[in-house]
Amino acid sequence: MSIKSLGVIVALVLIMFMSAIETSIVSLAIPTIREDLNVTTSISLIFAVYFIAIVIANPIVGELLDRTKIIYITLLGLLLFGIGSLLSGISTTLETLIMSRFIQGLGAGVMMALSQIVPKLAFEIPLRYKIMGIVGSVWGISSIIGPVLGGTILEFATWHWLFFVNIPIAIIAMLLVTVTFHFENETTTTTNKLDVRGLTYFYIVIFFLMFAVMNKTHLYLNLISFILACLMAVVLYKNEKNEKKPFLPVTEFNKTIILIFFTDFAYAIILMGYNLYMPIYLQEDIGLSPLQSGFVIFPISVAWLALNFSLDKLESNMTRKGLYIFAFTSLMMCGILILIGTSSPLFISFSLLFAGVSFGTVYTKDSVITQEETSLNNMKRMMSLYTLTKSLGNSIGSTIMGYIYALSFVFIGLQIHNVILMSLIILIILIILWSLFYREHEHKS
């Protein structure tokens, strides 16, 4: 492996690490921030605006990449994230902190979208599988490092340093990007006008969809918002069909791509259930510390990374449908084992190896299929939309799984069982959809 390739990998890891660790490291300081800033309203706004900004930034990245090179967009994302971190660190009121978190989220949204596009430009299969496995596993690793790093900083410094710590990392990443993000097969087009109408309709659909899920006041508002999202989606589709260079390339969405996007969205919801609410269960019901709970769920990252180093060999012996059914079955096995041995952290940790295999298989294959089976002209747009699908799944999944975790049923003893059962239902739906709608080609995956 060349020094340039190694530099690209390190830059990607740093970029994903900053985006992934931000939630877990800041969550530890919520009581301190509330007291220091005299917050009487909902402190959760500092998380909500961060996720909203990510959703806003994700889809526009593909459009920007058609007009300028990836190195400049990456530097823009890192600059926004760095400025947002600096402003967050020097904030003295909740209002300025919320504004700063929004800027930080915009940078994170840009960086997350690029992390799916850079491997396509820089690496060939099967090395690309390994690189994407390394980058993907950063999310799990951050769940352990986040509490340790955050707890250490809060022990010896103020909460402001939770944001300041991002600045040197961002500077190192910018230097690496400047040196290594030069790709021979990168193309840009500057003659096409921006599809402003399609972009506007698209954001309106996203707004109504997120409001339908996250509104906690009157239920009828959620229903109305969902109906409006569906109606606007129809308007968006009709508009984009008539555009010469649409923001949303509807012609790329064949049955396979639609199935891939839905699978990724569903898996993002399930991942939120495991990543967010399994640690809560381990800490509140079992009595583990944040660090101990992080080590319990760490096997997800271990199996995720290990799987991607052998995915090319695994898929050579399976059809594509067989590979996905294998992944769904592996995650179902994990859920069933956890239902059986919920009281044992060690047994849960072992069971989560099956989850890591499943997440590694699905996320890597979803990304590669989107890269390889969309036209070269629309690949960057499609990868941005693919990242948005994952971000929406994360945002909506954290809310939905939160509702489900809080429910009480007579026949269910533990709240974490609600999350596991919901995951099993989603997996059954995915198995049915892949069995009915995916038609295997003559060649293997």
Query: How is the chain split into domains, by residue range?
Result: 1-190, 196-241, 248-445
Closest CA to 250 of 195, 317, 294: 195
pLDDT at 312: 79
Please, are residues 186 and 67 in contact by the beta-carbon 8 Å criterion? no
Considering only 102-111, 280-289, 315-324, 329-338, which range has the smallest mean pLDDT?
280-289
Q: What is the pLDDT of residues 30-72, one digit of tens each?
A: 777 888 888 766 666 787 788 888 888 888 887 787 778 889 9
Residue with tokens 């939905």: 400
**Strand (E) or helix (H) holding 24:** helix 3-27
- Percent above pLDDT 70 for the chain: 92
Check: CB of residue 115 under 8 Å from CB of residue 8. no
| Average of per-residue pLDDT across 340-359 | 93
d(CA 417, CA 103): 37
Q: Which residue has the higher pLDDT, 173 or 5?
A: 173
Distance CA 423, CA 265 (A): 13
| 356, amino acid identity | G
What type of residue sits at position 226?
F
Q: In whole angstroms, what is the distance from residue 246 CA to residue 398 CA? A: 31
Phi and psi at 355, nearest 5°, equal: -65, -40
Task: Say if residue 51 is exposed, middle or buried (CB neighbours under 10 Å; 0-12, 13-18, 19+).
Answer: buried
CATH class of 1-190: mainly alpha
Higher pLDDT, 99 or 147: 99
CB 287: neighbour CB atoms within 10 A?
10
CB 105 within 8 A of CB 50: yes
Are both 1-190 and 248-445 of the same fold? yes
Neighbours of 114 (CB within 10 A): 28
Query: Which pLDDT value is given to residue 443?
Result: 42
CA 397 to chain centre: 11
Mean pLDDT of 362-385: 85
The model carries a pTM of: 0.80
Give the three-state DSSP class for 385: helix
Rounded to 5 degrees, what are φ and ψ at 159?
Answer: -65, -20
So what's the architecture of 248-445 in CATH? Answer: Up-down Bundle (1.20)
The span from the CA of 46 to the CA of 27, in Å, is 10
Neighbours of 168 (CB within 10 A): 10
How far is residue 193's CA from residue 199's CA, in Å, rounded to a whole number?
A: 12
CB 141 within 8 A of CB 301: yes
Tokens of 202: 């698209």
